[in-house]
Amino acid sequence: MPLRPALEELSKLQPVSAIHGAIPVCNAQILMAYPFFSLAKAPRLKPIDYKSGNAFVQVDASESAGIATIWDADILIWAASQIVQLQNSGQANSRRIHARPYEILGFLGWGRSKRSYDRLRNSLDRLKATQITTSLGQDRDDALYRFNWIDDWQEKRDPANRAAGMEIFFSEWFYKLVSQPQSCLTLDRQYFQLTGGLERWLYLVARKHGGRQEKGWSFDFQHLHRKSASLASPSSFSREIRNIAKRGRLLDYDLCITHNKTRTEQLLFLHAACGYPRSASVRTDNNTIVPSGHGRSCYQKDKALVRPWEKSDSANAKFFSKKESKNTTARQLEKPATTGLLRSQISQKNDRQDVKTRPIVRDRQEILVDLLSRKRIPLPGGFL
């Protein structure tokens, strides 16, 4: 297990400049299939210990920063996209990348405020402090490799002491992994807009295992819980999965809750291009099935399903609404612009006319009393 290289050794690496502009978003398949990052925003100090067959992953954190989160992994996605693009274009490549901070922030959609720059520095510190021990990404399955996501990073200054970007030294394990042919998959750029850690992880799992398969891919909840290395209890984890599945769509994937022969809950990832309908029902916390509220997998109704009278009714409603608005505007323009004293005089005149012409509304009992008093007829007791 090689030790962390010294700064003198890293300085011998030839730096490459990052590509500025819109490039495809790529990520390593191994990082999408195994639990390398924390899914919680709160600092996680408990190590990740995952083993399945010959695959072994152990992630240790520093007491001050905690394990690198799935949001910190956005920087690794940016680096993988840069390395793949440089390799595909035939340019010089290296794990020592020089870039301007605003270029990284713009690619990730983090904004360009002071808070965004501080967030970038904190993420780099966590990636540098997180230590990984794994058997993945090597020729031999029985060999273990220990490394940090970032060997070092530093902010550069020009002779006039002005900011001149930053240099990031990514680990050799990560660089070799990304440089291998067909080791990365493209991601939807809207992935950076997902705010939930579990949502982000589910999309990466769906992209890795589901892909564009016609029948999709499914995992039972227990396997997903163990695969994610989440600190949440199995019941809380399942509840969050159901809440996400109720929305029906996760970027370009439909999420459906199904059951196998043993009535075990499974989450099905189905690419939206397949055209399959979404799950019509989901299971709630009290083990009851309720409608999910989702119908077809497409965003709008097919043209063949739109009835002719529905289209004509909507068109007529739009026409009449426009006509009424025009008539209302015309009536408003026809009214004289009366202001000040003239308006008060008109209102007083209208009030006097209203008093003369206003019908007198009297109670039936008052009318009867008035008639009897005029004829001077005594009122019998209890008549009213």
**Where are the domains positioned within the chain?**
1-193, 196-299
In the chain, the percentage of residues whose pLDDT exceeds 90 is: 42
What is the per-residue pLDDT for 281?
Answer: 45
Q: Choose among 139, 143, 187: nearest CA to 23.
A: 187
Query: Cα-flanking dihedrals φ and ψ of residue 360, to 5°?
Result: -85, 120
Compute φ and ψ for 11, nearest 5 degrees. Answer: -65, -20
Q: Which residue has the higher pLDDT, 344 or 53?
A: 53
Q: Residue 213: which of 273, 299, 296 has the closest Cα? A: 273
User: Which pLDDT value is given to residue 284?
Assistant: 40
DSSP letter at 162? -
Q: If you average pLDDT over residues 137-161, what whole number do you get?
A: 84
Residue 179 has pLDDT above 60, yes or no: yes
Q: How far apart are the first and last CA of the chain?
A: 108
Q: Look at residue 194 and tell me whether its pLDDT is greater than 90.
A: yes
Please write the tens of the pLDDT for every residue from 83-142. 999 998 888 889 999 999 999 999 999 998 999 999 999 999 999 999 999 999 876 666
What lies within 8 Å, CB to CB, of 262 at 6+ separation is none
- Residue 29 banded pLDDT, cuts 50, 70, 90: very high
Q: What percent of the chain has pLDDT over 70?
A: 67
Q: 165-187: b or e for each residue (b if 16 or more CB lie within 10 Å)?
A: bbbbbbbebbbebbbeeebbbeb
Mean pLDDT over 41-59 rounds to 92
Bridge partners (DSSP) of residue 166 are 99, 155
Q: Which CATH code for domain 196-299?
A: 1.10.10
Which one of 176-180, 270-274, 368-372 scores highest in mean pLDDT?
Answer: 176-180
| pLDDT score recorded for residue 255 | 87
Helices (H), the chain: 7-11, 29-33, 73-88, 101-108, 114-129, 172-179, 197-205, 221-228, 234-246, 308-334, 340-357, 364-374
Longest dimension (CA), the chain: 124
Cα 194 to Cα 203: distance, rounded to the nearest angstrom = 9
What confidence tens digit (pLDDT) does each residue in 333-368 have?
554 444 455 455 555 555 555 544 444 445 555 655
Total Cβ atoms within 10 A of residue 72: 24
Return the higher-pLDDT residue of 46 and 263: 46
Banded pLDDT at 369 (limits 50, 70, 90): low
Q: Which is higher by pLDDT, 20 or 295?
A: 20
Residue 294: band (very low, low, confident or very high) from pLDDT cuts 50, 70, 90: very low
Query: Using CA atoms, how far apart are residues 144 and 128, in angstroms rounded to an integer?
Result: 19
pLDDT at 265: 87
Token pair listed for 374? 């005029």
315 pLDDT more than 70? no
Is the model's pLDDT at 314 over the cut of 50?
no
Q: What is the pLDDT at residue 68?
A: 95
Give the integer Cα–Cα distance in Å for 78 and 76. Answer: 5
Looking up tokens 């990348």, which residue turns up? 97
Instruction: State the pLDDT at residue 202.
Output: 94
Residues 197 and 40 sit within 8 Å (Cβ to Cβ): yes
Q: By 3-state DSSP, what share of the chain in percent is helix, strand and coil, each rounded to 5?
A: 40, 20, 40
pLDDT at residue 329 is higher than 90: no
Q: Which amino acid is at 109?
A: G
Distance CA 356, CA 55 (A): 97
pLDDT mean across residues, the chain:
76
263 — pLDDT class (breaks 50, 70, 90): confident
